[in-house]
Structure 1
Amino acid sequence: MINRFTKLLLCVLLTVAVAVATTACGGSNAQGGGDQEKIVVKFTHVVAESTPKGQAALKFEELLEEKSGGLFDVQVYPSSQLYGDKEEQEQLLANNVQLIAPSVTKLVTLNPSFQLVDMPFLFKDDAQAYRFFDGEAGKKLLNSLEPHGILGLAWWANGTKHFTNSKRPLKAPEDFKGLKFRTQSGGVLDDQFKALGAGSQTLAFSEVYQALDNGTVDGQENTFNNIDTQKYVEVQKYLTISNHGRLDYVVLTNTKFWNSLTPEQQEMFSEAMAEATAYERQLADELSAASFENIKQSGKVEIYELTEEDKAKFIEALQPLYEKYGAEVGQEYIDAARNS
């Protein structure tokens, strides 16, 4: 017969076995049962939350967390709170962040084809640019970064560029002769002004207002929103609506992070990004229109809009840029942009 002590021991062992079995069946995040472990996505950018880029980043956070039922935890860091312009690409490659949205021109060192947005009078308007971005050529350009460990996910708009200066109306190529303009980088932009008979000087964005004010440079090129918010109308007398170039962003992730996601998770990510992109472009278009109204209402600048005849003269004057940079940018991209 089983004595009392043996019965007690059996009861204890049975209780422990049940407890262990319950824990194993219940599962934990690490074992993949029950609730899944959250996937953290850090999104760092350098502009304010109030901008189209800032608002679109928050919209992406909302959309992806909703679509995934909380599986993704998107953390947005605006205004260089986490990393600045110089560090963010390096941190992306290290997978310390999973999303950045730099200016397109920041990618030229990785692939010269991204100079496409600087090519003068290539896109007639925003709609044409968006068609290129969303078409096969635009997608191919985004995918071209994969050998560098980076994957382009979307093109986010900032807007088209226009000329301002303090000396005279700019209606024809010859009006640029002898003037000096601020540029954000060399290469295409320096040669653009050289072809028009003007000089150029590379200056940081934060230094432009002072340079215009003290006459270090006579003019600059920028979006309506930057012209408005940076108060260039206080130090410039003339604005030419030219739509001659673009300032845009590219949303990037790293291949290590992307390849760690399941196909279903990648699909959720892509859907959220597509919706956030449409939202960002709408905001950018609305903000551009509002800023143009502010510029007009200020009454401080004389505004001239290039006619189609005017643009034809500029296109002819700037043709040498296409001869010099066409092969470097890629004729297939230039042709795709023109035909979008």
Structure 2
Amino acid sequence: MSIVRRTLIAAAAAAAFAAPFAALAQDIKPRLIRFGYGLNEQSNQGRAVKVFAEQVQKASAGKMRVRAIGAAALGPDVQMQQALIGGAQEMMVGSTATLVGITKEMALWDTPFLFDDAAEADAILDGPIGQKVMDKLQDKGLVGLVYWENGFRNLTNSKRPIAKAEDMDGVKLRVMQNDVYLDSFKLLGANAIPLPFSELFSALETKTVDGQENPFNTILSSKFYEVQKYLSITNHVYSPWIVLVSKKWWDQLSKAEQKVLLDAARASRDFERKDTREEAGRALADLKTKGMQVNEVPPAEVARMRQKLERINANVAAHVGGDLWQETQTALAASRAKK
């Protein structure tokens, strides 16, 4: 048999042997990750989810792909949380406040005036205390990766600037349907009225309520400047978001795959916080140009408000556990002593 013929036969045999493996390789699909979130694609959430997806695809060389599903298409936060716990969905980002019924320690982040500024929030959330609270989720079927930022909440109203607690006396203030919020503003002197967000603009317009509280971005996008004259920077609650993974699904991943997700989550966190804070700055400037009168509550008055809410803090401390509460207060005191 000629050398050429023997070569052709060998090549054909090799091709026949390799063919099934080539077909098998083509059949292996990327690991698909459904990532649900509540806001739309153009929001700070949407932009950060896109960064996360890009990081995952790049770090995994295309072996892991994120399908971002926004505008609450997979349901509100509570529904998505249950889908993660059951293993029917892989990932989501949502409010820590909606996790309190699952993990009581999450109520720590609802504490009024817990943080003085974003730097304090970052240090606590990204440090041992934030990790300790996140780790509690694992017993409930969830894995927390990182905290994102929703932002500080501030007051608007149509009656007068709020420069001290006494200025809230008699102000009909819409608050979230949440006991901590209701009790807090009642103690500060406001006539706190629980009302769904969907009814808020109309209630402000008809003077059913005098004011409300939300981050700058929401105040602008909801056009509250059309029915509110005064914006008082109180920073009374810092609202975090949290990136969650289904523990059922997480436990099926290799250590390398878990690292890809955690690294991408941290990159998206850094992007999201910067993006959200820049957007908040633009929103505040825009609200001023639209005619809102803006004042900042002095630190001494914030301290007085904190003092008035000691009973609320005691209730939160009892709920989350005295040790966790004291650890948080000690860390914050140490941070403030360095300023």
TM over 0.5: yes
1:277 to 255, 269, 272: 269
- The residue correspondences of 1:117-266 to structure 2 (distance < 5 A) are 117-266=109-258
Letter in 2 for 1:109: G
- Note the aligned Cα RMSD (angstroms): 2.2
Quick check: 2:108–2:316 contact (8 Å CA) kept in 1? Answer: no
Deviations 1:297-331 (A, max 9, x none): 111x2221111222122122122211222221331
| Corresponding residue for residue 299 of structure 2 | 308
Q: Distance in 1 between matches of 2:261 and 2:214?
A: 32
Number of residues of Structure 1 aligned to a counterpart in Structure 2: 322
Give the 3-state SS of the residue equivalent to 1:101 in structure 2.
Answer: strand
1:263–1:130: structure 2 CA closer, same or farther, 3 Å change rule? Answer: same
Deviations 1:165-195 (A, max 9, x none): 1122211111212222222232211111111
Letter in 2 for 1:28: L
Gaps (5+ residues) in structure 1? 1-13
Quick check: 1:142–1:151 contact (8 Å CA) kept in 2? Answer: yes
Deviations 1:100-137 (A, max 9, x none): 11111111111222222321211011111011111011
Letter in 2 for 1:41: I
| Corresponding residue for residue 295 of structure 1 | 287
Give the 3-state SS of the residue equivalent to 1:245 in structure 2.
Answer: strand
Give the CA deviation at 1:203: 2.2
Quick check: 2:114–2:238 contact (8 Å CA) kept in 1? Answer: no
Letter in 1 for 2:132: K
Quick check: 1:36–1:71 contact (8 Å CA) kept in 2? Answer: no
Q: Distance in 2 between matches of 1:88 and 1:338?
A: 36
| Corresponding residue for residue 28 of structure 1 | 24
Corresponding position: 1:318 with 2:309: yes
TM-score normalised by the chain length of structure 2? 0.88
| Corresponding residue for residue 94 of structure 1 | 86
Q: Distance in 2 between matches of 1:339 and 1:43?
A: 37
Letter in 1 for 2:24: S
Q: Distance in 2 between matches of 1:249 and 1:18?
A: 55
Quick check: 1:122–1:338 contact (8 Å CA) kept in 2? Answer: no
Quick check: 2:151–2:238 contact (8 Å CA) kept in 1? Answer: yes
| Corresponding residue for residue 319 of structure 2 | 328
Give the CA deviation at 1:20: 6.8
Quick check: 1:102–1:251 contact (8 Å CA) kept in 2? Answer: yes
Deviations 1:194-216 (A, max 9, x none): 11122222222222111211222
Deviations 1:250-302 (A, max 9, x none): 11111111111111111111111110110001100100000000011111x22
Gaps (5+ residues) in structure 2? 1-9
| Corresponding residue for residue 11 of structure 1 | none
Aligned-pair identity in percent equals: 32
